[in-house]
Amino acid sequence: MNDDFLPLRSKTILLVITGGVAAYKSLELIRLLRKSGAEVRAILTKGGAEFVTPLSVAALSGHAAYQDLFSLKDETEMGHIRLSREADLVVVAPASADFIAKMAQGRADDLASTTLLACNKPILIAPAMNCEMWSKPAFQRNLSTLRHDGAEVIGPAHGDLACGEVGSGRMVEAAEIFEKITLMLQRNLELRPLRGLRALVTSGPTYEPIDPVRFIGNRSSGKQGHAIAAELAAMGAEVTLITGPVQIPPPTVAHMIKVETAVQMRDACTGLLPQGIDIAVCAAAVADWRVSEPAQHKIKKSGDQAGLQLELTQNDDILKMISNHHNRPKLVVGFAAETENLLGFAAKKLKSKNCDWIVANDVGPKESDKESDIEPNMLGKTCGGVFGSDKNQAILLTQSAQIPWKLMSKQELAKNLVAEIVKFFER
Protein backbone atom coordinates (compact mmCIF):
# COMPACT_ATOMS: atom_id res chain seq x y z
CA MET A 1 0.00 0.00 0.00
CA ASN A 2 1.25 3.47 -0.92
CA ASP A 3 2.31 5.44 2.15
CA ASP A 4 0.10 8.34 1.07
CA PHE A 5 -2.97 6.16 1.67
CA LEU A 6 -2.00 4.91 5.12
CA PRO A 7 -4.65 6.46 7.40
CA LEU A 8 -2.45 6.43 10.52
CA ARG A 9 0.86 7.28 8.91
CA SER A 10 3.13 9.26 11.29
CA LYS A 11 0.86 8.49 14.27
CA THR A 12 2.15 6.81 17.42
CA ILE A 13 -0.10 4.66 19.58
CA LEU A 14 0.82 3.63 23.11
CA LEU A 15 -0.94 0.35 23.87
CA VAL A 16 -1.26 -0.78 27.48
CA ILE A 17 -2.04 -4.51 27.78
CA THR A 18 -3.38 -5.55 31.17
CA GLY A 19 -4.27 -9.00 32.52
CA GLY A 20 -7.10 -10.96 30.93
CA VAL A 21 -7.81 -13.65 28.38
CA ALA A 22 -8.77 -10.91 25.91
CA ALA A 23 -5.11 -9.88 25.76
CA TYR A 24 -4.74 -12.07 22.67
CA LYS A 25 -6.90 -9.55 20.79
CA SER A 26 -4.29 -6.88 21.48
CA LEU A 27 -1.90 -8.71 19.17
CA GLU A 28 -4.39 -8.40 16.30
CA LEU A 29 -4.86 -4.73 17.19
CA ILE A 30 -1.10 -4.15 16.91
CA ARG A 31 -1.14 -5.81 13.48
CA LEU A 32 -3.98 -3.59 12.25
CA LEU A 33 -2.33 -0.44 13.56
CA ARG A 34 1.03 -1.25 11.96
CA LYS A 35 -0.67 -2.12 8.66
CA SER A 36 -2.22 1.35 8.66
CA GLY A 37 1.11 3.08 9.14
CA ALA A 38 1.09 3.71 12.89
CA GLU A 39 4.02 3.25 15.22
CA VAL A 40 3.05 1.12 18.21
CA ARG A 41 4.72 1.13 21.59
CA ALA A 42 3.41 -1.34 24.13
CA ILE A 43 3.43 -1.65 27.90
CA LEU A 44 2.73 -5.07 29.38
CA THR A 45 1.52 -5.21 32.96
CA LYS A 46 2.50 -8.15 35.12
CA GLY A 47 -0.95 -9.63 34.55
CA GLY A 48 -0.84 -8.95 30.82
CA ALA A 49 2.43 -10.86 30.50
CA GLU A 50 0.64 -13.94 31.87
CA PHE A 51 -1.51 -14.04 28.72
CA VAL A 52 0.73 -12.74 25.92
CA THR A 53 4.50 -12.82 25.80
CA PRO A 54 6.79 -9.82 25.49
CA LEU A 55 8.36 -11.54 22.49
CA SER A 56 5.01 -11.71 20.65
CA VAL A 57 4.33 -8.03 21.32
CA ALA A 58 7.84 -7.03 20.24
CA ALA A 59 7.68 -9.09 17.04
CA LEU A 60 4.41 -7.47 15.94
CA SER A 61 5.12 -3.90 17.08
CA GLY A 62 8.76 -3.72 16.08
CA HIS A 63 9.67 -2.38 19.53
CA ALA A 64 10.50 -4.03 22.81
CA ALA A 65 7.57 -4.42 25.19
CA TYR A 66 8.06 -2.23 28.25
CA GLN A 67 7.27 -3.86 31.58
CA ASP A 68 9.27 -2.62 34.55
CA LEU A 69 9.11 0.88 36.02
CA PHE A 70 12.46 0.34 37.69
CA SER A 71 14.26 -1.17 34.71
CA LEU A 72 17.38 0.89 34.09
CA LYS A 73 17.49 -0.33 30.47
CA ASP A 74 13.85 0.54 29.77
CA GLU A 75 14.01 3.95 31.44
CA THR A 76 17.24 4.76 29.60
CA GLU A 77 15.87 3.78 26.19
CA MET A 78 12.37 5.19 26.67
CA GLY A 79 11.35 6.68 30.02
CA HIS A 80 7.77 6.49 31.22
CA ILE A 81 7.29 10.22 30.62
CA ARG A 82 8.45 9.96 27.01
CA LEU A 83 6.21 6.96 26.40
CA SER A 84 3.10 9.09 26.89
CA ARG A 85 4.54 12.35 25.52
CA GLU A 86 5.52 10.82 22.17
CA ALA A 87 2.17 9.10 21.67
CA ASP A 88 -0.78 10.64 19.83
CA LEU A 89 -3.21 8.36 21.63
CA VAL A 90 -3.04 5.92 24.55
CA VAL A 91 -5.13 2.74 24.36
CA VAL A 92 -5.71 0.40 27.31
CA ALA A 93 -6.85 -2.93 25.82
CA PRO A 94 -7.78 -5.06 27.55
CA ALA A 95 -8.48 -2.89 30.57
CA SER A 96 -9.09 -5.06 33.63
CA ALA A 97 -11.33 -3.99 36.51
CA ASP A 98 -8.28 -3.74 38.74
CA PHE A 99 -6.38 -1.50 36.34
CA ILE A 100 -9.39 0.76 35.77
CA ALA A 101 -9.61 1.15 39.56
CA LYS A 102 -5.93 2.14 39.63
CA MET A 103 -6.49 4.76 36.94
CA ALA A 104 -9.53 6.20 38.71
CA GLN A 105 -7.63 6.44 42.00
CA GLY A 106 -4.58 8.05 40.39
CA ARG A 107 -2.27 5.28 41.56
CA ALA A 108 1.24 4.95 40.16
CA ASP A 109 2.71 1.70 41.46
CA ASP A 110 3.87 0.15 38.19
CA LEU A 111 5.04 1.29 34.76
CA ALA A 112 1.59 1.27 33.15
CA SER A 113 -0.23 3.20 35.88
CA THR A 114 2.65 5.66 36.30
CA THR A 115 2.74 6.35 32.55
CA LEU A 116 -1.00 6.94 32.44
CA LEU A 117 -0.91 9.28 35.43
CA ALA A 118 1.78 11.31 33.64
CA CYS A 119 -0.17 11.21 30.36
CA ASN A 120 -1.41 14.39 28.66
CA LYS A 121 -2.87 12.71 25.58
CA PRO A 122 -6.31 11.29 24.74
CA ILE A 123 -7.02 7.90 26.32
CA LEU A 124 -9.21 5.07 25.01
CA ILE A 125 -10.21 2.25 27.36
CA ALA A 126 -11.50 -1.17 26.25
CA PRO A 127 -12.81 -2.94 29.39
CA ALA A 128 -12.73 -6.72 29.73
CA MET A 129 -14.03 -8.59 32.79
CA ASN A 130 -16.70 -10.82 34.25
CA CYS A 131 -20.27 -9.54 33.83
CA GLU A 132 -20.84 -9.33 37.59
CA MET A 133 -17.69 -7.25 38.01
CA TRP A 134 -18.87 -4.96 35.21
CA SER A 135 -22.23 -4.36 36.83
CA LYS A 136 -20.97 -3.59 40.34
CA PRO A 137 -21.60 0.03 41.50
CA ALA A 138 -18.00 0.34 42.74
CA PHE A 139 -16.66 -0.45 39.27
CA GLN A 140 -19.17 1.82 37.53
CA ARG A 141 -18.11 4.67 39.82
CA ASN A 142 -14.50 4.14 38.76
CA LEU A 143 -15.45 4.12 35.09
CA SER A 144 -17.59 7.24 35.54
CA THR A 145 -14.60 9.00 37.12
CA LEU A 146 -12.43 8.21 34.11
CA ARG A 147 -15.10 9.37 31.69
CA HIS A 148 -15.45 12.60 33.68
CA ASP A 149 -11.67 13.04 33.45
CA GLY A 150 -11.85 12.82 29.66
CA ALA A 151 -11.13 9.18 28.83
CA GLU A 152 -13.23 7.47 26.18
CA VAL A 153 -14.58 3.95 26.63
CA ILE A 154 -15.38 1.38 23.97
CA GLY A 155 -17.48 -1.65 24.90
CA PRO A 156 -17.68 -4.04 26.46
CA ALA A 157 -19.69 -6.37 24.25
CA HIS A 158 -22.36 -8.83 25.40
CA GLY A 159 -21.62 -12.51 24.81
CA ASP A 160 -19.80 -15.61 25.98
CA LEU A 161 -17.16 -14.83 28.59
CA ALA A 162 -13.96 -16.73 29.32
CA CYS A 163 -15.35 -17.80 32.69
CA GLY A 164 -18.18 -19.66 30.99
CA GLU A 165 -20.90 -17.12 31.84
CA VAL A 166 -22.83 -15.01 29.38
CA GLY A 167 -23.26 -11.28 29.77
CA SER A 168 -21.63 -7.86 29.33
CA GLY A 169 -17.89 -7.75 29.90
CA ARG A 170 -16.42 -9.19 26.73
CA MET A 171 -13.78 -6.93 25.15
CA VAL A 172 -14.83 -5.70 21.71
CA GLU A 173 -12.96 -7.03 18.70
CA ALA A 174 -9.68 -5.54 17.56
CA ALA A 175 -11.21 -4.24 14.32
CA GLU A 176 -13.79 -2.22 16.26
CA ILE A 177 -11.09 -0.73 18.52
CA PHE A 178 -9.04 0.11 15.43
CA GLU A 179 -11.98 1.98 13.87
CA LYS A 180 -12.49 3.92 17.11
CA ILE A 181 -8.79 4.85 17.22
CA THR A 182 -8.96 6.14 13.64
CA LEU A 183 -12.05 8.24 14.41
CA MET A 184 -10.50 9.65 17.57
CA LEU A 185 -7.32 10.68 15.79
CA GLN A 186 -9.24 12.28 12.93
CA ARG A 187 -11.47 14.15 15.38
CA ASN A 188 -8.42 15.13 17.39
CA LEU A 189 -6.96 16.84 14.33
CA GLU A 190 -10.22 18.70 13.73
CA LEU A 191 -10.78 19.71 17.35
CA ARG A 192 -7.20 20.61 18.21
CA PRO A 193 -6.57 23.61 15.93
CA LEU A 194 -3.62 24.88 17.99
CA ARG A 195 -1.57 21.70 17.57
CA GLY A 196 2.06 22.50 16.79
CA LEU A 197 1.94 25.80 18.68
CA ARG A 198 3.65 26.46 22.00
CA ALA A 199 1.97 28.49 24.71
CA LEU A 200 3.16 30.11 27.92
CA VAL A 201 0.58 30.87 30.61
CA THR A 202 1.26 32.61 33.92
CA SER A 203 -1.22 32.07 36.72
CA GLY A 204 -1.88 32.71 40.39
CA PRO A 205 -0.35 35.26 42.75
CA THR A 206 3.24 35.93 43.69
CA TYR A 207 4.40 36.03 47.29
CA GLU A 208 7.08 38.58 48.12
CA PRO A 209 8.79 37.72 51.43
CA ILE A 210 9.01 40.19 54.28
CA ASP A 211 10.76 37.67 56.51
CA PRO A 212 10.79 33.84 56.59
CA VAL A 213 7.21 33.88 57.95
CA ARG A 214 5.40 36.82 56.35
CA PHE A 215 4.92 37.95 52.78
CA ILE A 216 3.22 40.51 50.57
CA GLY A 217 0.67 38.80 48.35
CA ASN A 218 -2.75 39.14 46.79
CA ARG A 219 -6.05 37.28 46.56
CA SER A 220 -5.53 35.57 43.20
CA SER A 221 -6.57 31.90 43.29
CA GLY A 222 -5.11 30.93 39.91
CA LYS A 223 -8.46 29.54 38.76
CA GLN A 224 -8.66 31.72 35.65
CA GLY A 225 -5.07 31.18 34.55
CA HIS A 226 -5.28 27.44 35.16
CA ALA A 227 -8.52 27.25 33.17
CA ILE A 228 -6.89 29.06 30.24
CA ALA A 229 -3.89 26.72 30.34
CA ALA A 230 -6.20 23.68 30.33
CA GLU A 231 -8.23 25.00 27.39
CA LEU A 232 -5.13 25.83 25.33
CA ALA A 233 -3.88 22.29 25.94
CA ALA A 234 -7.28 20.86 24.96
CA MET A 235 -7.00 22.76 21.67
CA GLY A 236 -3.65 21.10 20.97
CA ALA A 237 -1.10 23.67 22.13
CA GLU A 238 1.98 22.53 24.01
CA VAL A 239 1.45 24.52 27.19
CA THR A 240 3.93 25.53 29.84
CA LEU A 241 2.14 26.83 32.93
CA ILE A 242 4.16 29.08 35.24
CA THR A 243 2.20 29.27 38.45
CA GLY A 244 2.58 31.09 41.72
CA PRO A 245 1.41 29.55 45.02
CA VAL A 246 -2.14 28.22 44.59
CA GLN A 247 -4.40 25.76 46.39
CA ILE A 248 -6.13 24.28 43.34
CA PRO A 249 -5.33 21.10 41.34
CA PRO A 250 -2.97 21.55 38.39
CA PRO A 251 -4.43 21.28 34.88
CA THR A 252 -3.21 18.67 32.42
CA VAL A 253 -0.49 20.51 30.51
CA ALA A 254 2.83 19.53 28.96
CA HIS A 255 4.98 21.41 31.48
CA MET A 256 4.43 23.21 34.76
CA ILE A 257 6.87 25.47 36.60
CA LYS A 258 6.07 26.42 40.20
CA VAL A 259 7.39 29.76 41.42
CA GLU A 260 6.79 31.96 44.42
CA THR A 261 8.13 35.45 43.72
CA ALA A 262 7.84 37.87 40.82
CA VAL A 263 11.55 37.55 40.14
CA GLN A 264 11.23 33.77 39.87
CA MET A 265 8.26 34.14 37.51
CA ARG A 266 10.18 36.65 35.39
CA ASP A 267 13.19 34.34 35.14
CA ALA A 268 11.00 31.37 34.21
CA CYS A 269 9.39 33.40 31.42
CA THR A 270 12.65 34.72 30.03
CA GLY A 271 14.08 31.21 30.10
CA LEU A 272 11.25 29.94 27.90
CA LEU A 273 11.10 32.70 25.28
CA PRO A 274 14.29 31.69 23.41
CA GLN A 275 12.80 28.20 22.96
CA GLY A 276 10.13 29.62 20.66
CA ILE A 277 6.76 30.55 22.18
CA ASP A 278 3.81 31.32 19.91
CA ILE A 279 1.25 32.37 22.53
CA ALA A 280 1.76 34.10 25.88
CA VAL A 281 -1.16 34.64 28.24
CA CYS A 282 -0.15 36.59 31.35
CA ALA A 283 -3.01 35.88 33.73
CA ALA A 284 -0.94 35.91 36.93
CA ALA A 285 -1.51 38.65 39.48
CA VAL A 286 2.14 39.59 39.85
CA ALA A 287 3.04 41.80 42.80
CA ASP A 288 4.13 45.26 41.64
CA TRP A 289 6.46 45.65 44.63
CA ARG A 290 8.78 43.53 46.73
CA VAL A 291 10.61 44.19 49.96
CA SER A 292 14.08 45.53 49.15
CA GLU A 293 15.85 43.45 51.79
CA PRO A 294 13.71 40.72 53.38
CA ALA A 295 14.69 39.93 56.97
CA GLN A 296 16.66 36.74 57.48
CA HIS A 297 14.74 35.95 60.67
CA LYS A 298 11.20 36.57 61.85
CA ILE A 299 10.65 40.22 62.70
CA LYS A 300 9.57 40.51 66.34
CA LYS A 301 7.04 42.99 67.64
CA SER A 302 8.36 45.77 69.83
CA GLY A 303 6.75 48.25 72.17
CA ASP A 304 7.19 50.98 69.59
CA GLN A 305 3.71 51.99 68.38
CA ALA A 306 5.13 53.76 65.34
CA GLY A 307 4.67 50.58 63.33
CA LEU A 308 6.88 48.67 60.95
CA GLN A 309 8.34 50.49 57.97
CA LEU A 310 9.24 48.51 54.86
CA GLU A 311 11.36 49.72 51.97
CA LEU A 312 9.89 48.46 48.72
CA THR A 313 11.44 47.95 45.28
CA GLN A 314 9.39 47.85 42.11
CA ASN A 315 9.28 44.46 40.36
CA ASP A 316 9.98 44.12 36.66
CA ASP A 317 6.89 44.27 34.44
CA ILE A 318 6.69 40.72 33.07
CA LEU A 319 3.95 41.47 30.52
CA LYS A 320 5.86 44.44 29.12
CA MET A 321 9.10 42.45 29.08
CA ILE A 322 7.49 39.61 27.07
CA SER A 323 5.79 42.06 24.68
CA ASN A 324 9.08 43.80 23.89
CA HIS A 325 11.38 40.78 23.94
CA HIS A 326 13.42 39.98 20.82
CA ASN A 327 11.91 36.49 21.00
CA ARG A 328 8.41 37.94 21.28
CA PRO A 329 5.54 35.45 20.88
CA LYS A 330 3.21 35.95 17.92
CA LEU A 331 0.35 36.75 20.30
CA VAL A 332 0.72 38.31 23.76
CA VAL A 333 -2.35 38.58 25.99
CA GLY A 334 -2.37 40.45 29.28
CA PHE A 335 -4.90 40.89 32.05
CA ALA A 336 -6.05 44.13 33.65
CA ALA A 337 -7.64 43.59 37.06
CA GLU A 338 -9.10 46.93 38.04
CA THR A 339 -11.45 48.32 40.70
CA GLU A 340 -12.39 51.49 38.80
CA ASN A 341 -12.31 53.06 35.33
CA LEU A 342 -12.06 49.60 33.80
CA LEU A 343 -11.94 50.46 30.11
CA GLY A 344 -9.79 53.54 30.58
CA PHE A 345 -7.07 51.77 32.56
CA ALA A 346 -7.23 48.66 30.35
CA ALA A 347 -6.83 50.69 27.14
CA LYS A 348 -3.87 52.52 28.66
CA LYS A 349 -2.30 49.22 29.68
CA LEU A 350 -2.81 47.76 26.20
CA LYS A 351 -0.81 50.62 24.70
CA SER A 352 1.88 50.99 27.36
CA LYS A 353 2.69 47.28 27.58
CA ASN A 354 2.82 46.82 23.78
CA CYS A 355 0.80 43.62 24.06
CA ASP A 356 -1.78 42.50 21.49
CA TRP A 357 -4.82 41.96 23.70
CA ILE A 358 -5.94 42.81 27.21
CA VAL A 359 -8.59 40.92 29.16
CA ALA A 360 -10.09 43.57 31.43
CA ASN A 361 -12.03 42.50 34.48
CA ASP A 362 -13.42 44.48 37.38
CA VAL A 363 -12.27 42.82 40.59
CA GLY A 364 -13.72 45.36 42.98
CA PRO A 365 -16.79 44.77 45.16
CA LYS A 366 -19.98 45.16 43.17
CA GLU A 367 -23.16 47.02 43.98
CA SER A 368 -26.24 46.62 41.81
CA ASP A 369 -26.29 50.37 41.17
CA LYS A 370 -22.54 50.83 40.75
CA GLU A 371 -21.48 52.70 37.64
CA SER A 372 -19.47 50.52 35.29
CA ASP A 373 -18.03 50.44 31.82
CA ILE A 374 -19.94 47.20 31.27
CA GLU A 375 -23.66 47.35 30.50
CA PRO A 376 -25.73 47.50 33.73
CA ASN A 377 -27.57 44.27 32.98
CA MET A 378 -24.22 42.47 32.90
CA LEU A 379 -23.47 43.41 36.47
CA GLY A 380 -24.87 42.28 39.77
CA LYS A 381 -23.96 41.50 43.30
CA THR A 382 -23.02 37.95 42.28
CA CYS A 383 -20.14 39.31 40.20
CA GLY A 384 -18.30 40.61 43.24
CA GLY A 385 -15.18 38.94 44.55
CA VAL A 386 -13.61 37.75 41.28
CA PHE A 387 -10.46 36.74 43.17
CA GLY A 388 -11.10 33.25 44.48
CA SER A 389 -14.51 33.01 42.81
CA ASP A 390 -15.50 30.39 40.24
CA LYS A 391 -16.99 33.10 38.03
CA ASN A 392 -15.70 36.06 36.09
CA GLN A 393 -16.82 38.65 33.56
CA ALA A 394 -14.56 40.64 31.34
CA ILE A 395 -14.02 42.70 28.22
CA LEU A 396 -11.46 41.59 25.65
CA LEU A 397 -9.65 44.61 24.20
CA THR A 398 -7.76 44.10 20.96
CA GLN A 399 -6.12 46.74 18.78
CA SER A 400 -9.37 47.16 16.86
CA ALA A 401 -12.26 45.82 18.93
CA GLN A 402 -13.87 45.46 22.33
CA ILE A 403 -15.62 42.15 23.05
CA PRO A 404 -17.69 42.07 26.26
CA TRP A 405 -18.27 38.76 28.03
CA LYS A 406 -21.12 38.44 30.51
CA LEU A 407 -20.78 36.85 33.94
CA MET A 408 -19.84 33.20 33.43
CA SER A 409 -17.68 30.46 34.89
CA LYS A 410 -13.95 30.90 34.56
CA GLN A 411 -13.85 27.75 32.43
CA GLU A 412 -16.37 29.31 30.02
CA LEU A 413 -14.39 32.53 29.89
CA ALA A 414 -11.26 30.49 29.13
CA LYS A 415 -13.10 28.81 26.24
CA ASN A 416 -14.16 32.21 24.89
CA LEU A 417 -10.62 33.56 25.06
CA VAL A 418 -9.07 30.49 23.46
CA ALA A 419 -11.71 30.58 20.71
CA GLU A 420 -10.48 34.09 19.87
CA ILE A 421 -6.89 32.82 19.93
CA VAL A 422 -7.84 30.07 17.47
CA LYS A 423 -9.37 32.69 15.15
CA PHE A 424 -6.17 34.75 15.37
CA PHE A 425 -4.03 31.84 14.16
CA GLU A 426 -6.48 30.82 11.45
CA ARG A 427 -6.15 34.17 9.68
Is the distance from CB of 228 to CB of 283 less than 8 angstroms? yes
> H/E/C letters for each residue in the chain?
CCHHHCCCCCCEEEEEECCCCCHHHHHHHHHHHHHCCCEEEEEECCCHHHCCCHHHHHHHHCCCCECCCCCHHHHHHCCHHHHHHCCCEEEEEEECHHHHHHHHHCCCCCHHHHHHHCCCCCEEEEECCCHHHHHCHHHHHHHHHHHHCCCEECCCEEEECCCCCEEEEECCCHHHHHHHHHHHHHHHHHHCCCCCCEEEEEECECCEECCCCCEECCCCCCHHHHHHHHHHHHCCCEEEEEECCCCCCCCCCCEEEECCCHHHHHHHHHHHHHHCCCEEEECCECCCEEECCCCCCCCCCCCCCCCCCCCEEECCCHHHHHHCCCCCCCEEEEEEEECCCHHHHHHHHHHHHCCCEEEEEECCCCCCCCCCCCCHHHCCHHHCCCCCCCEEEEEEECCCCEEEEEEEEHHHHHHHHHHHHHHHHHC
What is the distance of C-alpha 118 from the center of its chain? 11
Catalytic residues: 163
Is the distance from CB of 171 to CB of 128 less than 8 angstroms? yes
Residues in a beta bridge with 127: 95
Phi, psi of 402 (to 5 degrees): -130, 120
